[in-house]
Structure 1
Amino acid sequence: MKKLDKCLAIIPARGGSKGVPRKNLRLINGKPLIQYTIEAALGSRRIDQTVVSTDCTEIAQVSVEAGATVPFIRPSALAEDHSRTIDVLKHAVEFYENQGVFYEHIILLQPTSPLRNSFDIEEAYSIFLQNEADSLQSVSPALQHPYLFRKFDDTLLGPYQSVEDERLRRQDLEEIFVLNGAIYIVKKGLLMEESSLVGCRNCGYVMPKSRSIDIDDELDLEVAEAYLRKTTGC
């Protein structure tokens, strides 16, 4: 008999990492990086199942100990440098559908966003539902506006944008946002049938810069640890 659940959270965490070796297992303030995302997902009442998709048995063990479900070891073909996150998500969805369990909404939570918390997930999902959206991505305020970007033409410096008003003041610039990679929500049909995370009715959830760090290198790890020590007091 088919079982329909509302929301499946998928945390993709492969063992290989060029920028930071063993990144998902690196300790930040005493806990593996991936554990922060698992705890945020488990703390959200919106999520029916939290799954870690990994090709690494060590990551699998740490994830299970943190409370996540690891129902399979990801095929090596989906754990290469060029492997697409879309295919990793579809593989997890197909695994459950083969077990007779069907989800309506899929949430992608990348483990490289350790400061994203349960509140962020709850708020993002509420926006997604209230707007009857097809998809949603979390964003944070952009550090720089494209208006301020410059490019070189040989040795001459010019504006990056083709049209620019030199009289425009910085305070008059429209506020813009950048994807921070912390939360993606998508209807299952859009993911599985169109291989996309962005639908026609696409919404955004704004996160503060303080919780929007994306771990890409050693400096990011140090910044995240410093922030956590400051906010937790230990």
Structure 2
Amino acid sequence: MTTRFLAVIPARGGSKGVPRKNIKLLAEKPLIAWTIEAAKKSKYITTTIVSTDDEEIYAVAKEYGAEVPFMRPAHLAADDTPGVAPILHAIEQCPGYDYVVVLQPTSPLRTTEDIDGAIEKILENELAFCVSVVEATQSPYWMYTFKEHGVMQPLIDTPLVVRRQDLPKAYILNGAIYVAKVEELKKTKNFLTPTTIAYEMPEERSFDIDVERDFFVCEWMMKGFI
């Protein structure tokens, strides 16, 4: 039996940092189009859908070849809605898939090869969860919190290491790809579990668009100026 993968691109209409962010033009295409096109080229993904509460996003998603089989309820598109809630809603609305692949539209530099690489990693290791990460540019071993009167306290209580090359590597989520077995995600309601495996991506493909200037920076990266 063929393993079925459902790609879910969550894209609500409201955006505080950049109004209408998900359909704002980036290099002459709506931001969300870059993710739709990458997903549709995957050799594993069976169906690519967009979960949205917005009619304009609905129209753009359809234009670029994604399916929009339902409109997301307003209570799942609020500022304080947990990120996994729309995904759980999507897999309820679209049954019959073995895995869900969540692709945030704010990661336009993520490639089809990255998507397939994360899927292959979860299949090869026979695990239930995989998330994309990037090596942290700032080491947590050199970070501090403040105690009373502003006295510095190391965030991680370890012997002081002076040379950067002697520090352990640290990684952070880049928000580009989340893969999970559908039935396991229903149980955990979280992609981060004790057995979640990482798919490492390079910094140049881990760019996440959050504020207005990110559009300009990302476009320059696409053109090879950065």
Structure 2 counterpart of 1:117: 111
Cα distance change on mapping 1:66 and 1:165 into 2, 3 Å = same
Greater displacement, 19-28 / 186-195: 186-195
Separation (CA, whole Å) in 2 of partners of 1:40 and 1:57: 22
Whichever residue aligns with residue 204 of structure 1, its letter is: A
Q: Percent identity?
A: 43
Separation (CA, whole Å) in 1 of partners of 2:218 and 2:84: 27
Q: Write the mapping of 1:95-110 to structure 2, written as runs, cut at 5 A.
A: 95-97=93-95, 102-110=96-104
Aligned length: 225
Q: Write the mapping of 1:46-195 to structure 2, written as runs, cut at 5 A.
A: 46-97=44-95, 102-195=96-189
After superposition, give the CA deviation of every residue in 1:164-216 in whole Å (9 maximum; x if it has no partner): 32354211001111100000001111212231223443110110000101111
Aligned partner of residue 118 in structure 2, secondary structure: helix
Structure 2: runs of 5+ lacking an equivalent: none
Q: Write the mapping of 1:5-24 to structure 2, written as runs, cut at 5 A.
A: 6-24=4-22
Deviation, structure 1 residue 94: 1.1
After superposition, give the CA deviation of every residue in 1:123-175 in whole Å (9 maximum; x if it has no partner): 11111100001100000010111111123334544242352323542110011
Greater displacement, 202-211 / 212-221: 212-221
TM superposition score normalised by structure 2 = 0.94
RMSD: 1.7
Separation (CA, whole Å) in 2 of partners of 1:225 and 1:72: 32
Instruction: Tell me if the contact between 2:129 and 2:196 (Cα under 8 Å) persists in the aligned partners.
Output: yes
Cα distance change on mapping 1:96 and 1:161 into 2, 3 Å = closer
Deviation, structure 1 residue 95: 1.1
Whichever residue aligns with residue 24 of structure 2, its letter is: R
Deviation, structure 1 residue 218: 1.3
Alignment of 1:218 onto 2:212: yes
Separation (CA, whole Å) in 2 of partners of 1:92 and 1:145: 36
Structure 2 counterpart of 1:206: 200
Greater displacement, 164-173 / 133-142: 164-173
Aligned partner of residue 68 in structure 2, secondary structure: coil
Deviation, structure 1 residue 5: 5.2
Structure 1: runs of 5+ lacking an equivalent: none
Whichever residue aligns with residue 220 of structure 2, its letter is: A
TM superposition score normalised by structure 1 = 0.91
Aligned partner of residue 94 in structure 2, secondary structure: helix
Separation (CA, whole Å) in 2 of partners of 1:49 and 1:215: 25
Greater displacement, 102-111 / 155-164: 155-164
Whichever residue aligns with residue 215 of structure 1, its letter is: I
Instruction: Tell me if the contact between 2:140 and 2:156 (Cα under 8 Å) persists in the aligned partners.
Output: no
Cα distance change on mapping 1:57 and 1:167 into 2, 3 Å = closer
Cα distance change on mapping 1:68 and 1:96 into 2, 3 Å = same
Whichever residue aligns with residue 8 of structure 1, its letter is: L
